[in-house]
Chains A and B, each alone.
Chain A
Amino acid sequence: MRQMARLLLLLPTTTYRTEDFVDAAGKLGVELVCASERPSTLEDLAPDTLVTLEFRDPDAAATRVAEWTRRRPLDAVVGVDDLTATVAAAVASRLGLRTNPVAAVAAARNKYEMRQCLAAAGVPVPRFRRIALKEDPFTAARGVGFPCVLKPLALSASRGVIRANTIDQFIAAFRRIAAVLRRDDVVATGDAAEFLLAEQFVPGLEVALEGLLIGGTLHTLALFDKPDPLEGPFFEETIYVTPSRLPDTIQRRIVAAAAQACAALGLTEGPVHAELRVNDDGPWVIEVAARSIGGLCSRTLRFGTGMTLEEVILRHALGWPIDSLDRERRPAGVMMIPIPRAGRLRAVHGSDRAAAVEGIEEVAITAHLGQELVPLPEGWQYLGFIFARAETPDAVEKMLREAHAHLTFEIV
């Protein structure tokens, strides 16, 4: 009989999330099996713990894992991002493990399907229209209202998301998104490779809700303010601060809208990352993803007596008890350091001074020297992340800005 639980983590080779999930698995003392879309150099030597899966084909991945588990039963399967969330659901469903319905995760992964589900359930969403990339953009532009936002159906991190105020801007954005979808580093298949979404631009403040679904009930883990205005033409994410400074009544409406959106999609288990806009008409659901927060941002969150978000997610997937889903009371925040322009990173200055700012916990420069940097809307990476904790959310935001001001990046 097995003594140790066995967990399959689906880790794309290029995700930021590997270290935090692998650390969490180590803390929980589970036997860790890692699957990636490309073979590890050690896979032949360690076939019990390293697996290659075709993440673009969830059914094929499920079949492969079902075969693999005949000699090595699994207790949980966890995906760490949008792409692997769908694969994890397919694999876990095949094995009879705790997961969301595959169709619900797939709907959340496709922005058009998501909008349709949410609109049908009466969840406030922007007016939207799916447009085939083979359509004439000039003709397509005449069918939308302005200002609008054009976006790919299935990319993350605001990649390819562009605001258009005029027909000319619409046509330029349309062509730019089509080019993004042809890039070698883009994983877009099926409808996501052939269509884009045009939707009404919703003015207002933006927030992000981090949650955990347990048996269909949404537990809010954190609500983040995004204090930098996101008005376009591109939608670069920078600062996240929690707890939110919005009035309690508005926060409750945001949570209710996110819960309604999860129910509309049919999501019932596991992490949820939702993005909403708030204006005089109330909250508008922009995104609901069946995954946890991206990048290294989860490092802002601690629960109960210091549990990380990844430990919470793994415990939930394993069906283990979770002592507390209450985030620590101290305000916290992160700044995703944006890439200011294209080029090659030659040097980073001021990291020590940035790290020395009061309240700054960590300055993690994740881009490496010599790296080719691609800014939005084509890019999908950051220069790094800055983390802060302080007595108030305002102080957290101030410290993050102060630390960022100390950093300079030589890009040639």
Chain B
Amino acid sequence: MSESNDKSTDLKARVQDLIDSMINPAVAGHGGYVELIDVQDNRVYLQMGGGCQGCGAADVTLKAGIERLLKEELPEIAEVLDTTDHAAGNNPYYTPGKM
């Protein structure tokens, strides 16, 4: 295995650890969860499920919450990207509307 692959695997493991220990216990409060799909070129690919899938506040959770936390703990992370099919969510915690 090459050195870059080693680094990527290591980073993926550390991201997974943060998701398991910090992020998922928190978002579970709204019935949500986050799955790590992959880490490539320091970009983290996630999927959101449960109450997070289709939630009106999902982008806030991702960018101002998850990305912020991951970058703080792992400064080498460049970006966190959402690969969720939010349109398929059938139990979002917040349903958007034109208030």
Interface string of A40-63 (1 = CB under 8 A from B): 111111101110000000000000
**Cβ of B61: which chain A residues have Cβ within 8 Å of it?**
40-42
The answer to whether A40 and B57 touch across the interface, beta carbons within 8 angstroms, is: yes
Complex: A39 Cα to B95 Cα, angstroms:
16
Complex: A183 Cα to B59 Cα, angstroms:
27
Question: Smallest distance from the beta carbon of B58 to chain A beta carbons, Å?
Answer: 8
Q: Does A165 sit within 8 A of B, measured CB to CB?
A: no
Q: Does A187 sit within 8 A of B, measured CB to CB?
A: yes
With contacts A42-B27, A46-B69, A365-B87 taken as known, whether A381 is within 8 angstroms of B95 at the C-beta atoms is yes
Complex: A12 Cα to B97 Cα, angstroms:
10
* A residues 15-44 touching B (CB-CB < 8 Å): 15-16, 18-19, 22-23, 25-26, 32-34, 36, 40-44
The answer to whether A368 and B57 touch across the interface, beta carbons within 8 angstroms, is: no
Question: Smallest distance from the beta carbon of A170 to chain B beta carbons, Å?
Answer: 26
With contacts A14-B56, A41-B32, A42-B61 taken as known, whether A380 is within 8 angstroms of B66 at the C-beta atoms is no
Interface residues on A, range: 35 or more
Q: Does A83 sit within 8 A of B, measured CB to CB?
A: yes
Q: Does A366 sit within 8 A of B, measured CB to CB?
A: yes
Complex: A258 Cα to B32 Cα, angstroms:
44
Q: Does A156 sit within 8 A of B, measured CB to CB?
A: yes
Interface string of A350-385 (1 = CB under 8 A from B): 000000000000001111111100000000111000
Complex: A40 Cα to B89 Cα, angstroms:
19
**Cβ of B66: which chain A residues have Cβ within 8 Å of it?**
42
The answer to whether A187 and B99 touch across the interface, beta carbons within 8 angstroms, is: yes
Interface residues on B, range: 20 to 34
Q: Does A157 sit within 8 A of B, measured CB to CB?
A: yes
Q: Does A311 sit within 8 A of B, measured CB to CB?
A: no
The answer to whether B97 and A46 touch across the interface, beta carbons within 8 angstroms, is: no
The answer to whether A382 and B60 touch across the interface, beta carbons within 8 angstroms, is: no
With contacts A41-B32, A370-B91 taken as known, whether A380 is within 8 angstroms of B97 at the C-beta atoms is yes
**Cβ of B60: which chain A residues have Cβ within 8 Å of it?**
11, 18, 22, 34, 36, 40, 50
**Cβ of B65: which chain A residues have Cβ within 8 Å of it?**
40-43, 45-46, 49-50
The answer to whether B59 and A18 touch across the interface, beta carbons within 8 angstroms, is: yes
Closest 4 pairs (CB-CB, A-B): A42-B65, A157-B98, A381-B97, A49-B64
Seed contacts A11-B60, A16-B56, A40-B64; 15 additional CB < 8 Å A-B pairs? A11-B57, A14-B94, A14-B97, A16-B96, A16-B98, A22-B59, A42-B61, A43-B65, A49-B64, A50-B64, A157-B98, A157-B99, A370-B90, A380-B97, A381-B96
List 10 A-B residue pairs with CB atoms under 8 Å apart, sorted by A's residue number.
Answer: A15-B97, A16-B97, A22-B59, A33-B64, A40-B61, A44-B26, A45-B65, A50-B64, A366-B87, A380-B98
Chain A residues at the B interface, C-beta cutoff of 8 Å: 11-16, 18-19, 22-23, 25-26, 32-34, 36, 40-46, 48-50, 81-83, 156-157, 187, 294-295, 364-371, 380-382
